[in-house]
Structure 1
Amino acid sequence: MQQLTGTGVALITPFKKDFSVDVDGLKSVVNFQIDGGIDYLVVLGTTAEAATLTKDEKELVIKTVIEANAGRLPLVLGVGGNNTAEVAEELKTRDLSAFVAILSVSPYYNKPTQEGIYQHFKAVAQASPIPVILYNVPGRTASNMLPATVIRLANDFKNVVAIKEAAGDIVQAMKLIQGAPQGFLVISGDDMITLPMILAGGAGVISVIGEGFPKEFSQMVRLGLERKVDEAYKLHYLLADSIDMIFEQGNPAGIKHVFKELGVCGDTVRLPLVNVNEDLAGRLSAFVKKIG
C-alpha cells in the first residue's frame, strides 16, 4: 500500500450560504490539493462534517470528488460508525471500485473494551472488499485503541493495512511502529507530531492543515521521509502556529476560514459547528498572508 505513503488530506465539504453542498467549491478544493502536491485524498472523514450530511449529500460528495480527481490521485473513503452491523452492511453493498482503501474510525460513544474494538474491526475487515485503514482518535471516540489491539488486528487480517493514529501520543505511535508486522503503515492523524512520527518510522499523515497549505506541508513530509531533518523542521516550524490555530475553535471551522482567505471556497459550517470568531479569523488571515 505504498499509495498511502506521504501526505493524504481529509477533505472538507464546502457549503453555500444556504448550507447546501457547494459542488464547485468542492471541485476547487480537490484541484487545489492536486496542484499543491498532495499524494492522496480522503473523502467523508470527520473534517468533511460527514455527521451532518444526508445520505444523498454523501453520494453527491463522493461523485463530485471522483469526477474532479479524474483518476489523478488515489482516493480513500471514510466508512465508520458505532453500529458494527450497519458499517459492515455498507461495506458489503457500496460500490468501492473508485477507492484504494477505506478509513474506519474506532466506535465512538459506546466506549467498547479492547476486545469490543477488536471484534468490531474483525467484522469490518471481513466485510470490506478493499484494504482497511484503522482510525484511532480518542479525543472524539472517548476510547483509545491500544497498540496491542492494533497489532493483533494487523496480524489477523491481511486487509487491515494501516492505522491513522491520532492519539497525540508519540510514545504510543512508536510502540505501533515497533510492533506492527512488516508492511503495516502507521500514519499520523495529528498534524503537530507528523514529522516526529515520520522520523520514528511512520509512513506519513492524513492531514487537515495540509489541505490549506498543501505545497509546504507535503514538502515537509517528503523531506522527513528522505531523512532531510533540518530542512523538514524548518517547514514544520513555519506552519506550527497555524496548526494550533485551525483546531482552536473546532475542526473544520478553522481550515474553512483558511480556504475562504485563499479564495478556494467559502467558510460556511453546519450546526452544531459555528464559524471562528473575529479574533481567530484575523490571526488566521494574517498567517495566510504571511505564507502567501
Structure 2
Amino acid sequence: MEQLRGTGVALVTPFKADESIDWNALEKLIDYVIVGGVDYIVTLGTTGETPTLSVEEKQDLVKFTFEKVSKRVPVVVGVGDYSTKAVVRSLENYPLEQAAAVLSVAPYYNKPTQEGIYQHYKMIAQASPKPIILYNVPGRTGRNMTADTTLRLAHEVENIVAMKEASGDMLQCMQILRDKPKDFIVVSGDDALALPQLACGMDGVISVAANYFAADFPAMVKAALRNDFPAARALNDKMMKGFDMMFAENNPAGIKAFLAHKGIVENVFRLPVLPVTDDLYNEIGEYLRKY
C-alpha cells in the first residue's frame, strides 16, 4: 500500500453543455494531473458528482480512466452507498481488476451507530476483491466515524488498509495516527488542513485542489513528507487563498470553475449542483491571473 502515500487526486467528471460526459476533457484532465506530478488517481469520488451518474456511466468512467491512465500511476475506485448490500453489489459488478484499492465513504444520511458503521465496513471488506480505504467525511455523511471505530476496523479487518480522514478534528486525527497499526495508511481528505496533518504524521492527501494545482500541491506534499516544512509551507501559503475560494460555495462547483478558467473542462454540472456565482467566478479568474 506504499502506492497510496503522497498525493491522490479525486477527479471531477467533465460534462458537455448537454450534461453528457465530456470524454475528451476527461482525457485532457488525466494527462494534466499525471504530468503535474500526482502519485495516483481516484475515480468515482464524490467530487466526480457520482450521485448523479448512472450505473452504466460509472462503469464506463472506470474503464475509460484505466485506459487513459495506462498504468502510468495507480488508480483507486470510489464505491460507496447508503446501503451496505448496494456497495457489495457494486464491488461484484464494477471492473476493478486494475484498481489499486477501493475508496468507500461511510454510509450517508441514515446516520448509523458506530457498531453499524463497523459492520458495514466489515461486510464490504470481506466482499471486496481489492483493499479498502475507509473514508470519513461527516460534513457530508451526517455521522462521524470515531477514532475508536476507525482503529477497531484497522486492527481487526484484514482487507482494510488505509483511511481518508476528513472530519476536520485534529485531536481525532492524532489519536488515529498514534494508535493505528504500523502499516495502516492515513491520508488527509481536507486540502486546507493537509499541511498540519502531514506534520502530525499523515502519509499523504486525497485532494480536490490537485485537479488544478497538479504540480504545486504534490510538490507541497512531497516536501512535507521529507520533513522540509519551510518549502512545504511556502507552497501551501501560495495556494491557501485558492483553497478558500475553491470551497466557498460548493464542491465540485469551485474546482470546476478553476478548471474552466484553465480551459480543461466546461463549467457545467448536473442538478442540484450549480456553477459558482458570477462574482466568485470572476474573483477566481483574478486570483489565477496573479498566481
Question: TM-score, normalised on structure 2?
Answer: 0.98
Cα pair 1:26 1:64 within 8 Å, conserved: no
Amino acid across the alignment from 1:197: Q
Q: Deviations over 1:182-241 (max 9, x none)?
A: 110110000011011111110000000111111000000000001001110011111011
1:40-79 pair list within 5 angstroms: 40-79=40-79
Give the CA RMSD over aligned residues. 0.8
The 2-side partners of 1:51 and 1:92 are apart by 19
Q: Name the SS for the 2:215 alignment partner.
A: helix
Aligned to 1:192: 192
Aligned to 1:269: 269
Cα pair 2:63 2:95 within 8 Å, conserved: no
| Residues paired across the two proteins, number | 291
How many Å apart are 1:128 and its aligned residue? 0.6
Aligned to 1:215: 215
Cα pair 1:164 1:206 within 8 Å, conserved: yes
Cα pair 1:189 1:206 within 8 Å, conserved: yes
Q: Name the SS for the 1:17 alignment partner.
A: coil
The 2-side partners of 1:42 and 1:16 are apart by 21
Q: Name the SS for the 1:65 alignment partner.
A: helix
Matched, 1:39 2:39: yes
Aligned to 2:30: 30
How many Å apart are 1:267 and its aligned residue? 1.4
Aligned to 2:142: 142
Matched, 1:250 2:250: yes
Q: Name the SS for the 1:182 alignment partner.
A: coil
Q: Deviations over 1:84-103 (max 9, x none)?
A: 01111221333311100000
Aligned to 1:110: 110
The 1-side partners of 2:56 and 2:93 are apart by 16
The 1-side partners of 2:192 and 2:31 are apart by 25
Aligned to 1:237: 237
How many Å apart are 1:174 and its aligned residue? 0.8
Aligned to 1:18: 18
The 2-side partners of 1:119 and 1:141 are apart by 17
How many Å apart are 1:24 and its aligned residue? 0.2
The 2-side partners of 1:14 and 1:65 are apart by 13
Aligned residues with identical type, % of pairs = 46
The 1-side partners of 2:94 and 2:236 are apart by 38
1:144-163 pair list within 5 angstroms: 144-163=144-163
Segments of 4+ moved more than 4 angstroms: none
Cα pair 1:89 1:127 within 8 Å, conserved: no
Matched, 1:226 2:230: no
Cα pair 1:267 1:275 within 8 Å, conserved: yes
Aligned to 2:281: 281
Matched, 1:129 2:129: yes
The 2-side partners of 1:95 and 1:56 are apart by 11
Amino acid across the alignment from 1:254: G
How many Å apart are 1:290 and its aligned residue? 1.8
Q: Name the SS for the 1:214 alignment partner.
A: coil
Q: Name the SS for the 2:247 alignment partner.
A: helix
How many Å apart are 1:283 and its aligned residue? 1.2
The 2-side partners of 1:172 and 1:290 are apart by 37
Cα pair 1:168 1:190 within 8 Å, conserved: yes
Q: Name the SS for the 1:248 alignment partner.
A: coil
The 2-side partners of 1:49 and 1:142 are apart by 18
Cα pair 1:81 1:105 within 8 Å, conserved: yes
Cα pair 2:62 2:95 within 8 Å, conserved: no
Question: TM-score, normalised on structure 1?
Answer: 0.98
Structure 1: gaps spanning 5 or more residues: none
Aligned to 2:86: 86
How many Å apart are 1:69 and its aligned residue? 0.5
The 2-side partners of 1:117 and 1:151 are apart by 12
Amino acid across the alignment from 2:92: K
Cα pair 2:75 2:100 within 8 Å, conserved: yes
How many Å apart are 1:19 and its aligned residue? 0.4
Amino acid across the alignment from 1:50: T
